Structure 1
Amino acid sequence: MPKIIPYQTAKHSLSLQEKIGQLFMPAAFINDSEEEILKLEKLIKESAIGGLCFFHSRASAATNYEGKKEVIYNAKSLDVLEGLIERYQNSAKYPLIIAIDAEWGLAMRVENTPQYPYAITLGAIPEGDDLIFEVGKQMAIDCLNAGIHWNFAPVADINNNPENPVIGYRSFGENKEPVSRKAIQMMKGMQSVGLLTSSKHFPGHGDTATDSHLGLPLIDKSKEALLHNELYPFQKLIENKVDSVMVGHLSVPALTGNTETPTSVSSKIIREVLRKELGFDGLVVTDALNMHAVSRRFEKKGQLECQAFLAGNDILCFAENVPEGIEEIAKEADPQLVEESFERIWKLKEKAMATATQIPATSGTDHAVLNQKLAEHSLSFVRGNPDKLKDFSGGKFIGLCLSAQKDSLFFDTIAKELPFEHCYSSQDQFSNFEKVIGDYDQILIGLVPPKVKPQNNFDIPAEQLEFIRTLSRTKKVVLYLFGNPYVLNLFDLQSLEAVIVAYQDFPEFQKNAAYHFLGRSNAVGMLPVTVKNYDHENI
């Protein structure tokens, strides 16, 4: 791997073309063909690109994520990632800065790596910012040990739209103060061991119903409303020295002056609002430039990359037309603007490379131990009376596990202390469940939705949804939800005896939920978002 040289040396030794190359951060894929790897090595050598952003595979990245290409599981992805980073670094004339989306840990992109809870789960923790800090720190250690310098996190979006198809569970919640506080703690945790951070998706992707991977979301709010709410977490993160800000692909006419210009290519957004009004002097990075919200608006190769730079972005993430983009920027941009961005990039690289030589020797807190603490602090009693739950568990009841899995640690843990009859939807017993219920008046349901995103009712089969609804009108039903709390909008909560949200289906979360049912742990969490019929007074 080449060594980083001081900026004052680099300022005079790199050509203008090389300095422009440093603006580019194309995608690298962990599970890729040798042919594609060789192409990227060639690009690194010939274009002097500044860095790489890693994704799991071409099938799982950005515009393909919702889709139609099968994502192949690779148990050795971490080993492959580490090998590729070394290989690509050895191809570079100047050290590459390596980035990744690891919002809930490397597991967001890499199999068999520690996974931490989604932001919405952390948002349920009413107190305990030290736990959020610890999550950030542990994620950072995992990244640094893999050779990664930069995590595109934390998400600073305030999710106040239940139908948001792309943010939702990735946000800490719907209220600006806790979202800001938790995002800052996660950022500080990552920075405490030297990982670079990025707040996203500026100026706020929470109140949208369109996925910017596929189209341009519209946020039709006044500037005053945006400053009061959406921009608030970004302002707080800037005040607390976030390393970079990622600009989303959004239509925000109150800030750009029209509905057609995406924020990521708007100088009014970046140079005026972000730089001048919010006072941000750090690095600005685009959201992935292959996303349809912007990529389909520029026909000529290199034009999008050039426009994104002229708008004020320093790093062009997931740029697909690197040679053409370099040529366009060299032709259209003021060299002084190139030098300003280059200086910001190079100084951030110096900071990252200094950290890379001081990677923490230990792996820190065991992630299972940390997840256990997070499970205990986030479990949320949403509906019902905790005292009645004691009567329920002390009587005769039957359990139904609605999950793709063939077993349930939640049910197994309960059964060790309190044997009870239970069935699994994954074992073709669901269709016969009405017969199995018999004279049971009390039903314990453990629901693990197939998806965390809201499309198609989280992929919960329609017959299962209707069965729960019908059952809750005639029986006493206690529901434990191991998933996105917005799932509760699919039910009439008033008809359920009790509703408890565990958020994750990790073993630690399932065990803690079981202990709660058995009366051995408390539910101290609070929903970070609003759902229908959520009665805060009746917890």
Structure 2
Amino acid sequence: MLITKYFTRISLLLLLISVFTDTVRGQSSLINTLNSQNHWVDSVYKKLNRKQRIAQLFFVRAHTNKGQAYEDSVGKVIQKEHIGGLVFFQGGPVRQTDLINNYQKLSRVPLLIAMDGEWGLGMRLDSTISYPYQMTLGAIQNDSLIYKMGQMIAYDYKRMGMQINFAPVLDVNNNPNNPVINYRSFGDSKYNVAKKGIAYFKGMQDAGLITVAKHFPGHGDTDVDSHYDLPLLPFTRDRLDSLEEYPFREAIKAGIGGVMIAHMSIPAFDSTKNLPSTLSRPIVTGELKDSLNFKGLVASDAMEMKGVTKYFPNGEGDLRAFLAGNDIIELSPDSKKAEKMILKALRHHKMPKEEFEAKVKKVLAAKYWAGLAHYTPASRAGLVSDLNRDSAKALVQQLSDTAITLLKGDSTSLYKDPKKRTAIVSIGVDEETVFQKELSKKYPNSLLFLVGKKTPVNELNGMLASLKKYDQLFISIHDTRLRPQSKLDYNSDVKLLISQLASLPNTITCVFANAYTIAGLPGIEKSETLLACYQKEDFMQRAAVKVITGQIKPKGKLSVSINMFFPTGTGIIF
């Protein structure tokens, strides 16, 4: 009897291992699937006319927070144009799942559904989980946690009926003033960006989600946002090849399924004046496809962005993106008009028919790999609770715990006496913070203080006088804006207070803001203990309290260079 049970368990284990191995083997062959002959792909391709084949390359914008008229207008585009996919933006998970199911019913060929989820569904949707930003993840020394995050995010996407995540960001953010990448990057080390990006995309791709790394060849060293204008990358080919392209090259070697092209003018690759890289055949085909030997899906960045439309309006940008070598044309301002222009270009033999056919079949092959050949609608039953499962929340906290970075101090300076008179000061806020609430539980002899971003100097002076009477201080600095920018929006008097408090003995300072903000707070380096906590979210505040109270040890290393005191890689671990 015991022997029978033993062999039954062994057989079950072997079966699970076999299924897992087959699954991973099938999912890791995305690039092969995109470039292999496929009966389903061939069959679908033959049933489409040329106009419908062109439309398969277009992905249009979709929302669930713009009302019924907007939703209906997208439905009409699906029915009339036979587009290849949708890119969802703001809304809610149940509404979006219902709408995806409805849109799939309208489409002759199953749609590829994409969304930007760099930090998970929470980047776009309410009632869903947000994982830490990539700058925060860049501080983590255990890449297996980032791989696990990728798997979790893939599950969420597939649970809602989506097949593509436009992530990770592989830009090396070596410009602290970058207005568009910044905290979305893993940092300013090309090696760290590559390692973290590969861990992230492999987690997603191994779990069956198509991933699209962005923004090739690298948007990290710009001070212009391509949503509003065309950035210039004035660097040499050697610099671009050795730095900006490095993470993309490594991701391609590791099997990334998709790459998104940035809208940037790059004279070293293409000297055509004011030509966005998205529209440049020497960049899209010559550099990415030929030089880097990329065989996956090539997607444009949003074609509605000013980085394109400023110089190439009225569908001209879409046509050029198509001719440059993009397989997916994302968010055309007028897909119907652009499709007509491409049809005319094909009639005039502007692209070899073999190249066009391969492009369309690559999109169809992506649909096959993602399981759309046997499409089944996503279930709304229990969706919100499933997307907010305890295991996902636990991983968010684990990632946060592992990212907290000790820039200055040691175990002696970090752990304070809970019996002493303690002040817990949160700056940049107008109500008690999670940091204060959690820390005060461990320090019963404490008083809480709040400092607003624009607190007048007379109030600040009075507070400073009071705080000098305490035995020890815990200072938390918060950026309450939706996204963590490189400079805090505090008045100069509040910044001076931070410097004055840092100079007091027995002070621990925690910065719940973009790491770059530390450079704009001269004197903060005088704090006996200084922790970089990267962002404002509650999970980071809880992680910092755990470090301060000795529940966990600091494990992070700085993902960007702040100044001469704190270069990339700074992080005291004990």
- Structure 2-normalised TM-score? 0.84
Give me the whole-angstrom Cα distance separating, in 1, the residues matched to 2:530 and 2:96: 41
Q: Any conservation in 1 of the 2:486–2:514 contact (CA below 8 Å)?
A: no
Aligned length, in residue pairs: 515
Of 192, 197, 201, the residue aligned with 1:178 is 192
Structure exhibiting the larger radius of gyration computed from Cα positions: 2
Aligned ranges 1:468-483 → 2 under 5 Å: 468-473=498-503, 477-483=507-513
Deviation at 1:453, TM superposition (A): 5.0
Q: Any conservation in 1 of the 2:502–2:525 contact (CA below 8 Å)?
A: no
Aligned ranges 1:169-208 → 2 under 5 Å: 169-208=183-222
AA of the residue aligned to 1:117:
P
AA of the residue aligned to 2:330:
C
RMSD: 2.6
Corresponding residue for residue 530 of structure 1: 561
Deviations 1:359-379 (A, max 9, x none): 999878712211221122111
Give me the whole-angstrom Cα distance separating, in 1, the residues matched to 2:342 and 2:129: 40
Deviation at 1:512, TM superposition (A): 2.3
Deviation at 1:452, TM superposition (A): 6.5
Aligned CA distance change for structure 1 residues 394 and 498 (closer, same or farther; 3 Å) = farther
**Residue 473 of structure 2 aligns to a residue in which SS?**
strand
Q: Any conservation in 1 of the 2:424–2:448 contact (CA below 8 Å)?
A: yes
Corresponding residue for residue 78 of structure 1: 93
**Residue 118 of structure 2 aligns to a residue in which SS?**
coil
AA of the residue aligned to 1:348:
A
Of 395, 401, 421, the residue aligned with 2:447 is 421
Unaligned runs of 5+ in 1: 58-76
Corresponding residue for residue 131 of structure 2: 116
Q: Which deviates more from structure 2 when the two are superposed, residues 170-179 or residues 362-371?
A: 362-371
Give me the whole-angstrom Cα distance separating, in 2, the residues matched to 1:258 and 1:473: 54
Of 18, 21, 27, the residue aligned with 2:52 is 18
Of 303, 311, 314, the residue aligned with 2:316 is 303
Corresponding residue for residue 380 of structure 1: 405
Q: Which deviates more from structure 2 when the two are superposed, residues 243-252 or residues 465-474?
A: 465-474
Deviations 1:465-510 (A, max 9, x none): 2321243346654211122111111122432222101224443332
Corresponding residue for residue 319 of structure 1: 332
Aligned CA distance change for structure 1 residues 32 and 5 (closer, same or farther; 3 Å) = farther
Corresponding residue for residue 329 of structure 1: 342
Of 140, 157, 163, the residue aligned with 2:177 is 163
Q: Any conservation in 2 of the 1:449–1:460 contact (CA below 8 Å)?
A: no
Give me the whole-angstrom Cα distance separating, in 2, the residues matched to 1:132 and 1:427: 34
Corresponding residue for residue 69 of structure 2: 35
Corresponding residue for residue 217 of structure 1: 231
Of 526, 533, 545, the residue aligned with 1:502 is 533
Report whether the alignment pairs 1:465 with 2:495: yes
Deviations 1:140-169 (A, max 9, x none): 111111111100011111111111111111
Sequence identity percentage: 31
Aligned ranges 1:392-411 → 2 under 5 Å: 395-404=420-429, 406-411=431-436
Aligned CA distance change for structure 1 residues 206 and 427 (closer, same or farther; 3 Å) = closer
Q: Any conservation in 2 of the 1:283–1:314 contact (CA below 8 Å)?
A: yes
**Residue 26 of structure 1 aligns to a residue in which SS?**
strand
Give me the whole-angstrom Cα distance separating, in 2, the residues matched to 1:32 and 1:273: 39
Report whether the alignment pairs 1:96 with 2:111: yes
Give me the whole-angstrom Cα distance separating, in 1, the residues matched to 2:67 and 2:453: 38
AA of the residue aligned to 1:309:
F
Give me the whole-angstrom Cα distance separating, in 1, the residues matched to 2:398 and 2:278: 38
AA of the residue aligned to 2:315:
G
Of 77, 90, 100, the residue aligned with 1:56 is 90
Report whether the alignment pairs 1:278 with 2:300: no
Q: Which deviates more from structure 2 when the two are superposed, residues 43-52 or residues 30-39?
A: 30-39
Give me the whole-angstrom Cα distance separating, in 2, the residues matched to 1:397 and 1:332: 73
Give me the whole-angstrom Cα distance separating, in 1, the residues matched to 2:81 and 2:73: 12
Deviation at 1:182, TM superposition (A): 1.0
Aligned CA distance change for structure 1 residues 234 and 537 (closer, same or farther; 3 Å) = closer
Aligned CA distance change for structure 1 residues 485 and 259 (closer, same or farther; 3 Å) = farther
Deviations 1:101-139 (A, max 9, x none): 00000000001101111111111012x121010000001
Q: Any conservation in 2 of the 1:406–1:427 contact (CA below 8 Å)?
A: no
Give me the whole-angstrom Cα distance separating, in 2, the residues matched to 1:148 and 1:5: 23
Give me the whole-angstrom Cα distance separating, in 1, the residues matched to 2:571 and 2:93: 46
Deviation at 1:438, TM superposition (A): 5.2
Q: Any conservation in 2 of the 1:452–1:484 contact (CA below 8 Å)?
A: no
- Structure 1-normalised TM-score? 0.89
Aligned CA distance change for structure 1 residues 235 and 456 (closer, same or farther; 3 Å) = closer
**Residue 25 of structure 1 aligns to a residue in which SS?**
strand
Deviations 1:391-429 (A, max 9, x none): 576743312112446222222222112121111236998
